[in-house]
Chain A
Amino acid sequence: MALPNYASPLERIWHYTYLVICALIFLFLIAPILVVIPLSFNAEPYFTFTPKMLALDPEGYSLRWYDKLLTFGMIDPDAPRDLAWWADVWENSKWVNAAKNSFIIGIFATILATGFGTLAALGLSRPEMPFRRAIMAILISPMIVPIIITATGLFFFYSKIQISHWGIPYLGIILAHATLGIPFVIITVTATLVGFDHSLNRAAANLGADPRTTFFRVTMPLILPGVISGALFAFVTSFDEVVVVLFVGALDEQTIPRQMWNGIREQISPAILAVATILVIVSIALLTTVELLRRRSERLRGVSPR
């Protein structure tokens, strides 16, 4: 983006203006996410920077809202912090329970979505796949159809089949989240398979490997990065999803986003910002993982990065 040396002064001015504009847009993108981080350490129950915070006075900052995440919902939050206290946190803290539920739902939904999705992506990327485009359109549609419509449909469907009476906790949400995660798995895995060199499979077959061995020893290691990033996408989708949970989740099936939703609507306290901060850190970690996987995949497939 270097400026050519034949640029006129006017173009120079425009060029720098342009860079400033871009900087502002980047600021717009990132600032809202970063602003919650310092505010979550606010010692006061407000959502603005107190004078003490601006003066970088340590007294203006505290971990009280993070502490609140542990103690909210506990039977006896003021007891001495021994083993029993932590057991109480684990059993009764609303946020901890929400986190547990989110993980259980997320993990099972991811397993379902990744398993079915990878298998299907293998089929879809075969050149002889019939009705490829139509089937692809159906499989991707959970991502396109507004979540409110999906949730409404599920609400009717689940109450018709009485899924909550089947005795399997979270089943309805897990199935729904798996469905929502499937498009991401399909997209990432087929993207990996596009660059996949099919002669490798043939070579393996020629060398006497049965299809099973070929799959696990040759195909799988090569598409694994795509599968993992698809799985991560599926997990994040489930982990972040609130509408389906609101519509079809039993009332005691609280997840982190649902707990946040309740909190935001009711009494938006800086504790919400503490959760938000933790989630931002989680997403940075996930983003890094996906980026590393992408690079690894490109290296493995011998595609040079663009």
Chain B
Amino acid sequence: MKKILILSTAIAGLAAVAASAEEINVMSWGGAYTKSQVEAYGKPFTKETGIKVNWIDADNPATPIKAQVEAGNVSIDVADVEYSDAVRLCDEGLLEEIDHAMLPPAPDGTPAEEDFIPGALTDCGVANIVWSTVVAYNKENVDGAPQSIADFFDTEKFPGKRGLRKSAKANLEMALMADGVPADQVYDLLNTPEGVERAFRKLDTIKDDIVWWEAGAQPPQLLADGEVVMSTAYNGRIFNAAVSEGQPLEIMWDGQILDFDLFVIPKGAPNKENAMKFVAFATDTKRLADQASWISYGPARKSSSALVGKFMDGKTDMGPHMPTAPENMKNALVNDYEFWVDHDAELNERFNAWLAQ
């Protein structure tokens, strides 16, 4: 009996320690991206408010969030999710609504609603970055340089393994673009069964040569290790591997797919008040601009753009590395969130059946 007593006091003690300090749990995508958020948002936030920020990694935070809310077991306060997921989860009542009025205005007094890029604010989410899915390659393992998205699907011209994200999103669009569909017709075509067929047929042509990745940190690693010669990737990860780690990686911007990442607060978040505080703090003009000096993602506020300067190494100009730089936008596709809100579930189901066959 005495032993049990000691045990339970020990457990209670542990519980007390865990609950004492004020903190929030923020879930993001891990690797270089989370690091940029730790530096630009987390550390200054803790300094200013005394609230500790715990960063938790996920391959795609939207999934664990949904699982947590549906299982009635929410431990995450803030999550960083893609646009279509932010809208979808909001539609399903899994997110807290965010009052746009609490977001700080730009330094010149422009209210937040006008300062954010159009579309960057939704009922439940506040965008922090513009990022893109691009094709990247290892200069040392590829003869010549791939020029277009079609080259990615051409294993004759560029032999070797390809890395692709294990999900339908972005892959289907890229497959169609590689098959000669102009960027502005991709989603119209994907809305038809024939378009989906065509995309899967194109993916079929390289299926045996694909190494699938799930976490954003994998593609730079796969490319650097030579496990694949080309891979789709989040552009910021490639930039960081190339510039700060000196890896011989190169981005091919043709056929890039642009998207927003938004901060959302899951319904029933244990520290909702502090979560709101964090979202407002992290998405003000200065923090967004700061983040861009850690990774090559564009800030979601117009007023931040002017403040974006050099990478943390002090010599690399960030401008040309942003997905929104004019020379990178020649053949770019903007992710159609409405399409994915409606079709995410069924296309992924189809994708997984295709994958397993």
Contacts and interface: CB of A to CB of B under 8 A. Distances in A.
Interface string B40-62: 00000000000000101100000
A189 to B, nearest CB: 19
Interface stretch (A176-184, A190-198, A264-272): A264-272
Contacts of B170: none
B214 interface: yes
Interface string A157-189: 011001011011111000000000000000000
B18 to A, nearest CB: 5
B75 A250 contact: yes
A85 interface: no
A92 B353 CA distance: 42
B68 to A, nearest CB: 8
Contact of B64 (A155, A167, A251, A252): A251
Contacts of B54: 252
B75 A168 contact: no
Given A262-B57, A266-B218, A251 B73 contact: no
Task: Name which of B25, B54, B73, B214 has the most chain A CB atoms within 10 A of its CB.
Answer: B73
Contact of A251 (B56, B71, B217, B218): B56
Interface string A230-268: 000000000000000000001110000000001001111
A231 to B, nearest CB: 15
A162 B72 contact: yes
Interface stretch (B7-15, B86-94, B178-186, B334-342): B7-15
Interface residues of B, number: 26
Contacts of A167: 15, 19
Contacts of B71: 155, 159
B217 A168 contact: no
A61 interface: no
A47 B7 CA distance: 43
B30 interface: yes
Contacts of A265: 214-215, 218
Contacts of A159: 71-73
B31 interface: yes
A251 B76 CA distance: 8
B56 A168 contact: no
A108 interface: yes
Contacts of B177: none
Interface string B209-247: 000001101100100010000000000000000000000
B7 A267 contact: no
Contacts, number: 55
B27 interface: yes
A251 B73 CA distance: 11
B72 A111 contact: no
Interface in B172-222: 214-215, 217-218, 221
Nearest to B214: A265
A252 B31 contact: no
A207 B220 CA distance: 75
Contacts of A170: 14
Contact of A266 (B7, B25, B31, B64): B31
Contacts of B225: 46-47
A165 B68 CA distance: 13
Interface string A137-154: 000000000000000000
A246 to B, nearest CB: 11
A25 B25 CA distance: 48
Interface in B144-162: none
A104 interface: yes
A265 B75 CA distance: 23
Nearest to B74: A164
A135 to B, nearest CB: 25
A244 to B, nearest CB: 15
B76 to A, nearest CB: 7
A100 to B, nearest CB: 11
A162 B71 CA distance: 9
Task: Name which of A155, A158, A162, A169 has the most chain B CB atoms within 10 A of its CB.
Answer: A169
Interface in B70-123: 71-73, 75-76
B235 to A, nearest CB: 18
B352 to A, nearest CB: 17
A267 B75 contact: no
Interface of A: 46-47, 104, 108, 111, 155, 158-159, 162, 164-165, 167-171, 250-252, 262, 265-268
Interface of B: 7, 11-12, 14-15, 18-19, 25, 27, 30-31, 54, 56-57, 64, 71-73, 75-76, 214-215, 217-218, 221, 225
Given A159-B71, A169-B14, A251-B64, 14 more contacts: A46-B225, A47-B225, A108-B11, A111-B7, A162-B72, A164-B75, A168-B11, A169-B18, A250-B75, A262-B57, A266-B30, A267-B217, A267-B218, A268-B221
Listed from nearest, the 3 A-B pairs whose CB atoms lie closest are A159-B71, A266-B215, A266-B217
